[in-house]
């Protein structure tokens, strides 16, 4: 286990090497591929070894490896330390495992790109920061990773930065994340003020005594932490960057904006579960925002035509589910959904990448300027991309929550926990209901996506059709592995009701044990549980069937000729005009303030005008006054002389 430092360091080495290659020899694609994928696979192997060791020894508490003294200032003692415990074990497996598959996929997807080496360098750097985030033993170390993944997200979203829109998307992501980071920082400051330390072991040991359940301090801290989560994990109100982030390469969307970075917020709440359990108001806020976001994003996904945008809003929605889970106190359920979501969402994104790759190739060959990502230009692709088709259907069934696919178990556990909590706090029934409605919509829009993309007549065009073909093995291989995980991933945490041993829940018990004391007991009768399960499955099935019945792929026309949206459809297609609202409320006043008040007013007027030029003018004026004194007239000098004598006499005679 003490080799845990290898896990983040290998990707860092990959970044250094690939970065050097990007600068010196960008054409050495084979070397880049070997290094880029190799370090990830090695890191995964190291992670497996660490987790195996952890499983064998099963220590009571987290194992902390301290490497050096980072910030010894006064009473604050932050060390550069990594922590191995059940939660971080799950995370590193997910990150390195899914990460390796995505790196492998990228070899095929980005193979023709000029910035290949730069891409892999950034991707490796991202994995390094993400591992620091989940392995960090204290809030500041985690924050380093937090910020780092934000940086890499910016670099990768704006990967093709010569297109202004891509650069803007990167900026948007970074800036919105910064708002969340302010929350994280404020929480750290308050935490230090109340507890006096920032490393997890000390904080969680002292939390029960330092805070009384429900008091203002811990509520403030957790709300600030959650602000950070809304930024990083794209919840209301800071979610608008995620759909824009689809401007980056598709594997990036898969890795960062589906499987790993956006789950950092969920990880944070799971890590700080004791604090959230001590602040029931904050937990309710977390669950409420999660539920609302789940439904809200699902409504927008109903009317998106860009295949990646559908998946982006789907991610926002599923992240909402995770927050419902951790907000309710079902931390294991939230983390379970995090893992299963990583599997099927990565599969969905990579599958869409495969589709886009094929569409691009076709349009490139015929020099057509059509949009390769618009579903209205697709259709009937199942005969051209059969593997992708099958695997994406597996992922769709998983995300819809159809048993026995992975998503069914995780989603159901979250909804069950929410319903159970409703017995002691009725507002949770509302959250449960929102989650259920979102499940219906999820099934519907995912089926819609599959129908429009793979079924019905093909709308790509006569000449392009000839060039459509399945992705190479290096791309479909990872898809297959993810497909398997989406299919079988449910075994990780089979509920006792269905005869399982709830492995993940028991595995995470050392982490969640302390919080369990403060949570209301939530047991539901088996009968109610079965009813809920059946209800969830029925709802999901309803969504799928409804989509098949109500939607007619044959009625679609290619994107260029498509009629504009009207009515409610228009509102949904325009994302409920939230971006426009933010622009009006926040961006424009801020820009105005910066330009008029800060720049013209303060910088030019006050600092330049009064400060710099003003002091020069005053000096010149004083100098002019002084120069009047030396006019060479003796008579004037004599007058000054006599005045001086009078003053001296006056002073002396006092």
Q: What are phi and psi of 476, to 5 degrees?
A: -75, -25
Nearer to another protein among residue 557 and residue 646 (C-beta): 646
Nearest distance from C-beta of residue 604 to another protein, angstroms = 37
Q: Give the count of beta carbons closer than 10 Å to the beta carbon of residue 42.
A: 18
CA distance 37 to 105: 10
Number of residues that bind another protein (CB under 8 A): 15
Q: Considering only 127-135, 230-238, 247-255, 645-653, which stretch makes contact with another protein by CB under 8 A?
A: 645-653
Token pair 């910016």 in the structure block, residue: 154
Binding of residue 112 to another protein (CB under 8 A):
no
Nearest distance from C-beta of residue 650 to another protein, angstroms = 6
SS3 annotation, 230-282: HHHCCCCCCCCHHHHHHHCCHHHHHHHHHHCHHHHHHHHHHHCHHHHHCCHHH
Binding of residue 634 to another protein (CB under 8 A):
yes
Nearer to another protein among residue 523 and residue 633 (C-beta): 633
Q: Considering only 131-139, 180-188, 595-603, 627-635, which stretch makes contact with another protein by CB under 8 A?
A: 627-635
| Residue 271: C-alpha distances to residues 78, 183, 188, 331, 506 (Å) | 18, 16, 14, 9, 16
Token pair 């050096």 in the structure block, residue: 68
CA distance 11 to 27: 21
Half-sphere exposure of 149 (CA within 13 A, CB side): 30
Binding of residue 554 to another protein (CB under 8 A):
no
Binding of residue 638 to another protein (CB under 8 A):
yes
Nearest distance from C-beta of residue 619 to another protein, angstroms = 19
Binding of residue 545 to another protein (CB under 8 A):
no
Nearest distance from C-beta of residue 639 to another protein, angstroms = 6
Tokens coding 198: 């920032």
Binding of residue 653 to another protein (CB under 8 A):
yes
Nearer to another protein among residue 616 and residue 645 (C-beta): 645
Q: Considering only 174-182, 194-202, 412-420, 642-650, which stretch makes contact with another protein by CB under 8 A?
A: 642-650
Binding of residue 649 to another protein (CB under 8 A):
yes
Nearest distance from C-beta of residue 625 to another protein, angstroms = 15
CA distance 587 to 618: 39
Tokens coding 86: 């059940």
Tokens coding 245: 């982030």
Nearer to another protein among residue 549 and residue 650 (C-beta): 650
Nearer to another protein among residue 525 and residue 629 (C-beta): 629
Q: What are phi and psi of 422, to 5 degrees?
A: -60, -25
Segment (H or E) for 487: helix 473-488
Nearest distance from C-beta of residue 623 to another protein, angstroms = 13
Composition of the chain by helix, strand, coil, percent to 5:
75, 5, 20
Binding mask 579-618 for another protein (x = CB under 8 A): ----------------------------------------
Binding of residue 517 to another protein (CB under 8 A):
no
Binding of residue 639 to another protein (CB under 8 A):
yes
Nearer to another protein among residue 576 and residue 637 (C-beta): 637
Nearer to another protein among residue 521 and residue 629 (C-beta): 629
Binding of residue 620 to another protein (CB under 8 A):
no
CA distance 208 to 215: 12
Nearest distance from C-beta of residue 635 to another protein, angstroms = 5
Cα angle: 207, vertex 209, 215; to 5 degrees = 75
Q: Considering only 82-90, 274-282, 435-443, 635-643, which stretch makes contact with another protein by CB under 8 A?
A: 635-643
Q: What are phi and psi of 74, to 5 degrees?
A: 60, -125
Binding of residue 630 to another protein (CB under 8 A):
yes
Binding of residue 626 to another protein (CB under 8 A):
no
Q: Considering only 338-346, 551-559, 612-620, 633-641, which stretch makes contact with another protein by CB under 8 A?
A: 633-641
Binding mask 382-401 for another protein (x = CB under 8 A): --------------------
CA distance 431 to 423: 13
Binding of residue 645 to another protein (CB under 8 A):
yes
Tokens coding 108: 């095929």
Report the interhelical angle of 406-422 vs 526-550 (nearest 10°).
120
Q: Give the count of beta carbons closer than 10 Å to the beta carbon of residue 543.
A: 23
* Contact by Cβ (8 Å): 130, 260: yes
Taken as a whole, the chain contains a residue count of 654
Nearest to 460 by CA among 380, 377, 384: 377
- Give the residue, chosen from 58, 367, 549, 650, that forms a contact with another protein under the rule CB under 8 A: 650
* Contact by Cβ (8 Å): 409, 397: no
Binding of residue 644 to another protein (CB under 8 A):
no
Report the interhelical angle of 86-109 vs 473-488 (nearest 10°).
150
Nearer to another protein among residue 606 and residue 646 (C-beta): 646
Binding of residue 633 to another protein (CB under 8 A):
yes
Nearer to another protein among residue 462 and residue 633 (C-beta): 633
- Give the residue, chosen from 74, 527, 563, 632, that forms a contact with another protein under the rule CB under 8 A: 632
Nearest distance from C-beta of residue 587 to another protein, angstroms = 59
Nearer to another protein among residue 599 and residue 636 (C-beta): 636
Q: Considering only 55-63, 262-270, 402-410, 625-633, which stretch makes contact with another protein by CB under 8 A?
A: 625-633
Q: Considering only 73-81, 341-349, 556-564, 631-639, which stretch makes contact with another protein by CB under 8 A?
A: 631-639
* Contact by Cβ (8 Å): 135, 266: no
Binding of residue 624 to another protein (CB under 8 A):
no
Nearer to another protein among residue 23 and residue 639 (C-beta): 639
Cβ burial of 465 (10 Å; 0-12, 13-18, 19+) is: middle
Half-sphere exposure of 93 (CA within 13 A, CB side): 20
Binding of residue 457 to another protein (CB under 8 A):
no
| Residue 30: C-alpha distances to residues 27, 38, 120, 254 (Å) | 9, 12, 12, 23
Binding site for another protein (CB under 8 A): 630-635, 638-639, 642-643, 645-646, 649-650, 653
């Amino acid at each position: 286990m003490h080799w845990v430092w290898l896990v983040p360091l290998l990707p860092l080495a990959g970044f250094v090497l690939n970065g050097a290659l990007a600068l010196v020899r960008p054409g050495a694609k084979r070397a880049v591929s070997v290094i880029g994928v190799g370090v990830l696979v090695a890191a995964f192997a190291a992670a497996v070894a660490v987790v195996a060791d952890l499983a064998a020894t099963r220590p009571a508490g987290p194992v902390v490896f301290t490497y050096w003294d980072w910030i010894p200032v006064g009473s604050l003692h932050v060390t550069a330390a990594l922590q191995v415990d059940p939660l971080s074990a799950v995370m590193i497996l997910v990150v390195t495992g899914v990460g390796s598959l995505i790196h492998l996929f990228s070899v095929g997807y980005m193979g023709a790109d000029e910035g290949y080496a730069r891409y892999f360098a950034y991707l490796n750097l991202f994995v390094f920061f993400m591992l620091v985030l989940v392995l960090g033993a204290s809030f500041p170390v985690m924050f380093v990773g937090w910020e780092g993944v934000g940086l890499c997200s910016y670099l990768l979203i704006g990967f093709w930065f010569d297109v202004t829109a891509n650069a803007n998307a990167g900026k948007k992501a970074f800036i919105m994340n910064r708002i969340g980071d302010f929350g994280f920082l404020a929480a750290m400051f308050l935490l230090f003020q109340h507890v006096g330390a920032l490393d997890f072991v000390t904080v969680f040991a002292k939390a029960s005594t330092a805070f009384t359940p429900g008091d203002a301090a811990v509520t403030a801290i957790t709300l600030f932490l959650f602000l950070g989560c809304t930024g990083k994990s794209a919840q209301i109100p800071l979610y608008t960057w995620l759909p824009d982030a689809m401007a980056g390469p598709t594997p990036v969307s898969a890795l960062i904006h589906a499987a790993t970075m956006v789950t950092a917020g969920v990880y944070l709440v799971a890590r700080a579960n004791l604090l959230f359990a001590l602040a029931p108001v904050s937990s309710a806020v977390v669950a409420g925002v999660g539920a609302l976001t789940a439904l809200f994003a699902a409504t927008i996904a109903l009317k998106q035509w860009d295949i990646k945008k559908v998946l982006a809003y789907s991610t926002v929605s599923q992240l909402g589910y995770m927050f419902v889970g951790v907000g309710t106190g079902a931390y294991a359920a939230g983390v379970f959904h995090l893992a299963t979501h990583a599997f099927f969402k990565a599969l969905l994104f990579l599958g869409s990448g495969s589709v886009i790759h094929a569409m691009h190739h076709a349009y490139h060959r015929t020099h057509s300027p059509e949009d390769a990502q618009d579903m209205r230009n697709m259709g009937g692709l199942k005969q051209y991309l059969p593997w992708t088709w099958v695997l994406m259907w597996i992922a769709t069934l998983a995300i819809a929550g159809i048993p026995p696919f992975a998503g069914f178990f995780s989603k159901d556990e979250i909804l069950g926990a929410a319903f159970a909590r409703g017995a002691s706090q009725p507002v949770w029934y509302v959250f449960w209901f929102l989650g259920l409605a979102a499940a219906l919509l999820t099934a519907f829009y995912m089926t819609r996506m599959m129908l429009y993309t793979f079924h019905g007549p093909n709308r790509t065009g006569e000449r392009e059709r000839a060039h459509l073909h399945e992705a190479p093995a290096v791309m479909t291989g990872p898809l297959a592995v993810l497909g398997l995980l989406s299919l079988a991933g449910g075994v990780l945490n089979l509920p006792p009701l269905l005869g399982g041993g709830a492995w993940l829940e028991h595995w995470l018990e050392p982490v969640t044990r302390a919080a369990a004391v403060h949570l209301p007991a939530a047991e539901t009768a088996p009968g109610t549980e079965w009813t809920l399960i059946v209800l969830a499955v029925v709802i999901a099935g309803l969504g799928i069937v409804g989509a098949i019945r109500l939607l007619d792929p044959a009625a679609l026309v290619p994107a260029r000729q498509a009629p504009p949206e009207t009515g409610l459809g228009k509102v949904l297609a325009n994302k409920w005009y939230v971006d426009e609202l933010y622009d009006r409320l926040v961006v424009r006043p801020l820009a105005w303030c910066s330009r008029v008040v800060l720049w013209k007013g303060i910088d030019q007027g006050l600092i330049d005008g009064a400060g710099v030029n003003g002091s020069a003018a005053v000096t010149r004026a004083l100098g002019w006054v002084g120069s009047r004194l030396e006019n060479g007239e003796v008579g004037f000098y004599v007058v000054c002389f006599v005045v001086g004598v009078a003053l001296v006499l006056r002073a002396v005679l006092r």
